[in-house]
Structure 1
Amino acid sequence: MRTALAVVLVAVTGCGATVASVPEAVSPVTVVNCGREVTFDRVPSRVVTNDTGITEMMFALGLRDHMAGYVVDEGNAVDLETSPWKADFEQSARLADKISAEVVQGANADLVFAGWNYGFSESTGFTPDALRGLGIGTYQLTEACRNGVGKQRGIMPALEALYTDLRNLGKIFRVENRAEELVSGYQRQVEEAGRLTAGKPRPKVFLYDSGQDQPFTSGKNAAPSDIIGRAGGDNIFGDLNDSWTTVSWETVVERSPDVVLIVDYADAQASTAARKQAFLEGFAPLANSPAVKGKRFFSLPYAALVEGPRNPAAVEAFARYLAGLG
């Protein structure tokens, strides 16, 4: 289908904004998303995004004008305050705290960009199949693609998932050059960060998201595992073939982490990273772990630790922290 839509890309760089024209789309584009070919016969113009990392991918590509709005949970206030794309968030419509069919229909969406457990869920009935039945297209976050084992998620390392999504979105929105510029820059940043800890001992790192009865953490397929590994550490749950998942405190204690990386967002039991650290420091079973004894805690915003354009900077920040441990 021919589209008469003219698109303008605003690419934000550290030196200011640059503007580039994007050609009118004249032919369908097909990308592979979560193992399936998906064809777009026009450039989406009313996209609804769910979650901060997903939304920031659109902003990084200069696609704010293609969005009907975004959905971000109220617990992610730190993300919005610390975002390199804070101005884009402020100039875009925040549609709701929780995504639903009613929200995206109310926004007259032609595409929903979300992921399994990043908005899509059988328990709520908000799924790609359900949206297809409403005539609304979907693009799924690659970090959260299901891998064929039950509801386990993850089909590639998280940074590779980021590059895959940026390139796919570049094709869908006809901004391939901008996508390649971002990917090349991120790859250089990650490579340079890795040099900070090259040849140094690799500390065992426990990613603590939330949970006091049982901790919620990162298996090998969620972004923190790749970030930790590229920064010079080893995720203590890097043997779990899953994305974000719940484990037992007994296993955390047994694996004796040297460092704890805390996800800074408000959950049901702790509203700040400092409160999460205080809980861990006061949690008796962990008292003899090297991380607690050495007070080795580091925190990053939620948006830096889910797939998104803050991931490369997260690698650099954590690598600098680990390099400073001696």
Structure 2
Amino acid sequence: MKKQLFLALTAVAVLSCSEKKDAAAKADTKQENKVEYIYKDADRDVPVVITTPPQRAALFNPYTTEILLALGLEDRIIIGSTEGELLPEYREAYEKVPQKLKGHGFRMNKEAFLLAKPDFAAGNINEETAGSPEELMKLGIAPYNLRSLDDIQNPTLDDVYDDIILLGKIFNVPDRAEALVTKLKNKYNEAQKDLVVPKDGEKKKVLILSYKGGVAAFSALATDLVNKAHGINIYADLDKRFEFVTPESVLERNPDAIFIIDIQSRPEPIEEKINFFKTNPVLKNTNAVRNNQVYKIDLEDVTPGVRNVDFIIRLNKILYQNKQ
């Protein structure tokens, strides 16, 4: 009887120690999952702290959607967004997302947004459609935006990689994020040997734009991508990601190639946008239009995400190898 009692007490003691170790391990894991970052709300810097990896992400832009799909997080997306066709490798995974939006500027009404019960929101969220950052955080919703989109001056491809790494930490999949960044870096490094490097003074001038009743020239990350393709962005001097410019300004800077972003959520078809350049009395005199160097690209090519390296490679081929 004493022996049985001793064994029972020993078992309880071992179990108690085991439970304490498990609790300690869980506490350590929770501490390791703590992620802090700054959310830019207009001109305000709002500190955000995440202690539990999000399980219900509402993504109101296609670039963050594709990054999370690339990280294998489709099961944690409750609202996703696309602007045109997804990359083929993510289409099957995207089918698992319950609510799919079209466009990069979609804004849900506040009631529908809160009914979705997100714990993470990225993209076009504001006080009217979702709530202030402080209100969201009180509800357990972490606001987020890619820093390489608008938050930093002159973002580069390295800043895109930093965004991917941060998302990996937020969703507690750091190894996947590291692997994705390594894959993209390796692709870029491997492509270097095939990129044409023009002589000094022979770099082609490039205009990247979105058309919405006028020419919205792109800078910011687009400039770094053009530089890496050994071209020159004629509007690299802009202070914003994009800015409306006049046809006369475009002609004065005279691009050798024009890349028009095909924003499929807008009513104007890409053919109509290209035709605008070919028939405009000023723009038709640019080198790009006169030499038939006007091309369609996707929004995700020149916004932060997994397509940037492929765009650099394609851009160099178009500019210097006469290939698409």
**In the aligned structure 1, how far is the partner of 2:298 from the partner of 2:89?**
12
Give CA-to-partner distance per residue, 1:153-184, whole Å, 9 cap, x none: x3342422311111101111221121111112
Partner SS for 1:166:
helix
Q: 1:301 is matched with which residue: 287, 294, 298? A: 298
- 8 Å contact 1:53–1:304 — kept in the other structure? no
**In the aligned structure 2, how far is the partner of 1:243 from the partner of 1:301?**
16
Deviation at 1:234, TM superposition (A): 1.0
| Alignment: residue pair count | 284
The 1:225/1:194 distance shift into structure 2, 3 A limit, reads farther
Counterpart for residue 128 of structure 1: 133
* Residue identity matched to 2:59: T
Partner SS for 1:79:
coil
Counterpart for residue 264 of structure 1: 262
Counterpart for residue 228 of structure 2: 230
- 8 Å contact 2:79–2:101 — kept in the other structure? no
Q: Tell me whether 34-43 or 203-212 shows the greater mean CA deviation.
A: 34-43
Counterpart for residue 211 of structure 1: 212
- 8 Å contact 1:47–1:111 — kept in the other structure? yes
Q: 1:112 is matched with which residue: 112, 116, 121? A: 121
Q: 1:245 is matched with which residue: 243, 260, 276? A: 243
Deviation at 1:257, TM superposition (A): 0.6
- 8 Å contact 2:259–2:297 — kept in the other structure? yes
Deviation at 1:215, TM superposition (A): 0.8
Q: 2:107 is matched with which residue: 82, 99, 113? A: 99
- 8 Å contact 1:29–1:41 — kept in the other structure? yes
Aligned-CA RMSD value? 2.6
Give CA-to-partner distance per residue, 1:265-316, whole Å, 9 cap, x none: 23646222x3321211111102221101111122222222221111111111
TM-score (norm 2): 0.78
Q: Is residue 89 of structure 1 aligned with residue 90 of structure 2? A: no
- 8 Å contact 1:218–1:244 — kept in the other structure? yes
**In the aligned structure 2, how far is the partner of 1:267 from the partner of 1:246?**
19
- Identical positions, percent: 25
**In the aligned structure 2, how far is the partner of 1:304 from the partner of 1:258?**
19
- Structure 1 residue runs of 5 or longer lacking an equivalent are 5-23, 147-153
**In the aligned structure 1, how far is the partner of 2:72 from the partner of 2:54?**
14
**In the aligned structure 2, how far is the partner of 1:316 from the partner of 1:30?**
34
The 1:127/1:204 distance shift into structure 2, 3 A limit, reads farther
**In the aligned structure 2, how far is the partner of 1:122 from the partner of 1:176?**
31
Q: Is residue 68 of structure 1 aligned with residue 78 of structure 2? A: yes
- Structure 2 residue runs of 5 or longer lacking an equivalent are 1-21, 23-27, 40-44
Give CA-to-partner distance per residue, 1:4-44, whole Å, 9 cap, x none: 9xxxxxxxxxxxxxxxxxxx943242243457653211111
- Please tell me whether Structure 1 or Structure 2 has the larger radius of gyration of its CA atoms: 2
* Residue identity matched to 1:93: P
Partner SS for 1:108:
coil
Deviation at 1:128, TM superposition (A): 3.0
Which one has a larger percent helix, Structure 1 or Structure 2? 2
Partner SS for 2:252:
helix
- 8 Å contact 1:31–1:37 — kept in the other structure? yes
Counterpart for residue 320 of structure 1: 317
